[in-house]
A and B are shown apart, each in its own frame.
Chain A
């Protein structure tokens, strides 16, 4: 069974293999090797027989081929209504075909399936809302990604990402020490401005255990400081954990279910150890989806819930503003046209559609908030979801995919876009860089900090 040294069926288990793969710039050798990677047909078919049960099989069989899903897919719309972008076609011609052929597919087929699974679907699950039979093709693409990953047909960046989770229990090579030190250091930077600002580490029984996205530690440490400041100003009894602090899961995008389990169990272990009342995660969509929505199932939790109540940052923020823990200075509210990006992963896929609008009602001067159309659970993907943002091989397709969001934003007339999701934030940044429409984009934390009324006893001494 010919397998490459970089492109093969084995998951990355050590730092050394991780570094070797990383050093193959752009995955040149990796993709070269993929061209001769053989399909392990017996493994593929056995896996399908074990894991493809009545839900997916029924979906594939009863699909009426009515095409009503076509218009629901932003990739179909933005690619000149190419019939090959119809969700039902995409899944029938890949997963459907693999099953019909009992796994007897070749290398060229797997390349096509890989491109379809990662460059023609962001697993935004919008099509599932438009199919009369209730067929959710995003779910099936997630399943297909798992099959492709197992066979070694996975984009280079995601093989690395999944490997990071296996080696570091984080999406980047950030160690537990890096995380704790960076968080404390960032808080120290702001201690003068916010007297008493501290980052509690491994505090048992806190009201809140805060989890993050590793790239905040590596590339956007300001975000950690902002989170600390907001908890501090709200008077929260909070803590971070020195292990199990990473909420994201590139393994989920890669379809590496074993790594998904490893990752999420590290967070759940922290919950069991620190026994917080609640976990609050950062402003990230897929992190919430992975740890709060899907994670319990990877970890084998029969109630489908994490060990401690877990909420998204926007839920905590809305609550803090509602209950007056955080107070907005009315003079500092946003007084320019502003719009909001609904993240598929916690809006369509976790029902948090009104909570962000509640936040808008506190921080935006009435009359200035303009919703995109469509919005809430019917929103379109930012264009870079499901790992699409990070895959160099499909950059061109991704850039085209951004046009949907660009036009939605342009139609609102807003120049400021609030994006409480890392992936959406990235996509919106990229669309501005690519298409120059003159917008600004922001997470909620930095905006909030500038708008708050700081309680007298927490103010810095002049």
Chain B
């Protein structure tokens, strides 16, 4: 089981994830239409590029935008969640060992304490993000079962990962569960809202180009995000 999951299973889930994301990305860009979107995407490449980069840069910077600054608690939850959710899967030394062994390459590894803190960060912020969905009326009205499912799908590998890390209960059982959940997550990425892993950047770039080219980017100092 372990061998299948870390062999063909791993190949397959990473393959589906990356191929799926590529397809999403290509379809997104192909579906942009200068006249329908009313943005002259290609006519002003410099202004477009500047707008796109500014739009991404300020938003990936914690407290980099007025919106982030206006809701500090959400901002902390958001960044703690995302830094862990991206950092741990890629840079955990245990993951890199598997990658090296099975796929023949690996990323830089972070130390165990950092990985622990980041993983706990994901779990704790996921709990608060869930509570936020239940408690705040303006979030509750938007929330659907699908939102909880996506949050659960994202957090579950971290929960099981920590169970393995602290060797609670049957290690080999939880390791298998952890790997299965991780691979389900990878496969789910291109087919669900989790596709925002890529589409966040494309959507931000698009709006950045809109403001950069059409809505004032070529006048004055550019938008203060």
Residues of B near A442 (CB, < 8 A) are: none
Closest to B42 in A: A302
Q: Among residues 5 to 57 in chain B, which have CB atoms less than 8 Å away from a CB atom of chain A? A: 27-40, 43-44, 55
Instruction: Give A62 to B193 CA distance when docked, in angstroms.
Output: 5
CB <8 Å contact, A54 and B30:
yes
- Interchain residue pairs with CB less than 8 A apart (27): A53-B37, A58-B202, A62-B196, A65-B147, A67-B136, A68-B74, A81-B138, A83-B137, A129-B223, A133-B204, A134-B203, A134-B206, A134-B208, A135-B207, A302-B34, A302-B43, A303-B40, A303-B44, A304-B43, A304-B44, A304-B214, A348-B215, A351-B220, A351-B222, A351-B223, A353-B221, A378-B66
CB <8 Å contact, A129 and B66:
yes
Contact of A62 among B34, B139, B200 (CB under 8 A): B200
Residues of A near B40 (CB, < 8 A) are: 296-297, 302-305
CB <8 Å contact, B137 and A55:
no
Query: Contacts A65-B142, A83-B137, A92-B142 given; 10 further ones with Cβ under 8 A?
Result: A63-B142, A64-B193, A66-B74, A67-B139, A129-B66, A133-B196, A293-B214, A349-B215, A352-B216, A378-B66
CB <8 Å contact, B137 and A61:
no
CB <8 Å contact, A67 and B224:
no
Q: Does A25 contact B (CB under 8 A)?
A: no
Closest to A67 in B: B139
Closest Cβ of chain A to B192, distance in Å, is: 9
Residues of A near B215 (CB, < 8 A) are: 293, 348-351
Q: Does A109 contact B (CB under 8 A)?
A: no
Q: A132-B78, A354-B221 are in contact. Are A297 and B35 (CB under 8 A)?
A: yes
Instruction: Give A131 to B185 CA distance when docked, in angstroms.
Output: 25
Q: Does B113 contact A (CB under 8 A)?
A: no
Q: Which of A58, A72, A294, A355 has the most C-beta atoms of chain B within 10 angstroms of its own C-beta? A: A58
Q: Which of B35, B208, B218, B225 has the most C-beta atoms of chain A within 10 angstroms of its own C-beta? A: B35
Residues of B near A305 (CB, < 8 A) are: 40
Q: How many residues of A contact B (CB 8 A)?
A: 55
Instruction: Give A228 to B199 CA distance when docked, in angstroms.
Output: 51
CB <8 Å contact, B214 and A129:
no
Q: Which of A57, A135, A353, A355 has the most C-beta atoms of chain B within 10 angstroms of its own C-beta? A: A353
CB <8 Å contact, A300 and B35:
yes
CB <8 Å contact, B217 and A351:
yes
Q: A58-B28, A293-B214 are in contact. Are A351 and B219 (CB under 8 A)?
A: yes
CB <8 Å contact, B66 and A68:
no
Closest Cβ of chain A to B126, distance in Å, is: 13
CB <8 Å contact, A53 and B207:
no
CB <8 Å contact, A68 and B67:
yes
Q: A55-B31, A55-B32, A83-B137 are in contact. Are A133 and B203 (CB under 8 A)?
A: yes
Q: Does A20 contact B (CB under 8 A)?
A: no
Q: Which of B33, B142, B206, B217 has the most C-beta atoms of chain A within 10 angstroms of its own C-beta? A: B142
Closest to A73 in B: B138
Closest to A353 in B: B220
Question: Closest 3 interchain pairs by CB?
Answer: A351-B216, A54-B31, A304-B40
CB <8 Å contact, B43 and A129:
no
Q: Does A188 contact B (CB under 8 A)?
A: no
Interface of chain B, main secondary structure: helix
Interface string of B124-158 (1 = CB under 8 A from A): 00000000010011111111100100000000000
Instruction: Give A55 to B213 CA distance when docked, in angstroms.
Output: 16
Instruction: Give A129 to B36 CA distance when docked, in angstroms.
Output: 21
Closest to B195 in A: A62
Residues of A near B140 (CB, < 8 A) are: 83
Residues of A near B225 (CB, < 8 A) are: 129
- Interface size grouping (class) on chain B: 35 or more
Instruction: Give A83 to B202 CA distance when docked, in angstroms.
Output: 29
Q: Does A323 contact B (CB under 8 A)?
A: no
Closest to A54 in B: B31
Q: Does A128 contact B (CB under 8 A)?
A: yes
Q: Does A76 contact B (CB under 8 A)?
A: yes
Instruction: Give A300 to B217 CA distance when docked, in angstroms.
Output: 21
Residues of B near A354 (CB, < 8 A) are: 220-221
Closest to A378 in B: B66
CB <8 Å contact, A58 and B193:
no
Q: Does A84 contact B (CB under 8 A)?
A: yes
CB <8 Å contact, B32 and A53:
yes
CB <8 Å contact, A58 and B44:
no
Closest Cβ of chain A to B133, distance in Å, is: 8
Contact of A134 among B27, B78, B207, B221 (CB under 8 A): B207
Contact of A81 among B35, B43, B137 (CB under 8 A): B137
Q: Does B111 contact A (CB under 8 A)?
A: no
Interface string of A169-184 (1 = CB under 8 A from B): 0000000000000000
Closest Cβ of chain B to A342, distance in Å, is: 12
Instruction: Give A58 to B222 CA distance when docked, in angstroms.
Output: 25
CB <8 Å contact, B66 and A62:
no
Residues of A near B203 (CB, < 8 A) are: 55, 58-59, 62, 133-135
Instruction: Give A129 to B55 CA distance when docked, in angstroms.
Output: 10
Instruction: Give A54 to B29 CA distance when docked, in angstroms.
Output: 8
Q: Does A136 contact B (CB under 8 A)?
A: yes
Q: Among residues 114 to 132 in chain A, which have CB atoms less than 8 Å away from a CB atom of chain B? A: 128-132
Q: A132-B67, A304-B43, A354-B220 are in contact. Are A61 and B141 (CB under 8 A)?
A: no
Q: Does A51 contact B (CB under 8 A)?
A: yes
Instruction: Give A76 to B29 CA distance when docked, in angstroms.
Output: 33
Closest to B71 in A: A68
Instruction: Give A74 to B163 CA distance when docked, in angstroms.
Output: 46
CB <8 Å contact, A350 and B199:
no
Q: Among residues 345 to 373 in chain A, which have CB atoms less than 8 Å away from a CB atom of chain B? A: 348-355
Closest to B67 in A: A130
Q: Does A406 contact B (CB under 8 A)?
A: no
CB <8 Å contact, B138 and A54:
no
CB <8 Å contact, A55 and B143:
no
CB <8 Å contact, B144 and A62:
no
Closest to B27 in A: A54
Contact of A67 among B37, B138, B217, B218 (CB under 8 A): B138
Residues of B near A198 (CB, < 8 A) are: none
Residues of A near B63 (CB, < 8 A) are: none
Residues of A near B138 (CB, < 8 A) are: 67, 70, 76, 81, 83, 86
